[in-house]
Amino acid sequence: MIAKDKNALICDMAETYKVFDLRALPVPMLATLAAGLRDDSRIKIKLSGARAATDTLLLASIADALNFLAWAKTKAAQTGKNRPKSF
């Protein structure tokens, strides 16, 4: 995790555990705490290669569906014009 993005790990550790100096902890404790970070922590999102957190992607999907449904009821939808862009 440190090799991938040290700053993201530091931010996550400070936010979650109030640990500001990673060198102050023994390596096994640091590894345990890092493994226990939430799935939507900065470092875990970066490690997974995702562009955003799962809840953010879900909200964007909901907004896209709602925009499409609203557009589908317009006259422009009958001709296929002005289709809303996806988030």
> Per-residue pLDDT tens for 5-49?
999 999 999 999 999 999 999 999 999 999 999 988 999 999 998
For 35-85, what is each residue's pLDDT tens digit? 999 988 999 999 998 888 888 889 999 999 999 999 999 999 989 899 999
Of 71 and 87, more confident: 71
3 and 39 in a single domain? The answer is: yes
45 and 58 in a single domain? The answer is: no
20 and 59 in a single domain? The answer is: no
The pLDDT score that the predictor gives to residue 5 is 93
Contact call for residues 44 and 1 (beta carbons, < 8 A): no
Other CB atoms within 10 A of residue 43 CB? 21
41 and 61 in a single domain? The answer is: no
Contact call for residues 64 and 87 (beta carbons, < 8 A): yes
1 and 41 in a single domain? The answer is: yes
44 and 68 in a single domain? The answer is: no
Scan for tokens 């995790």, then name that residue: 1
46 and 65 in a single domain? The answer is: no
Domain that holds residue 64: 53-87
The pLDDT score that the predictor gives to residue 51 is 83
Query: What is the domain count for the chain?
Result: 2
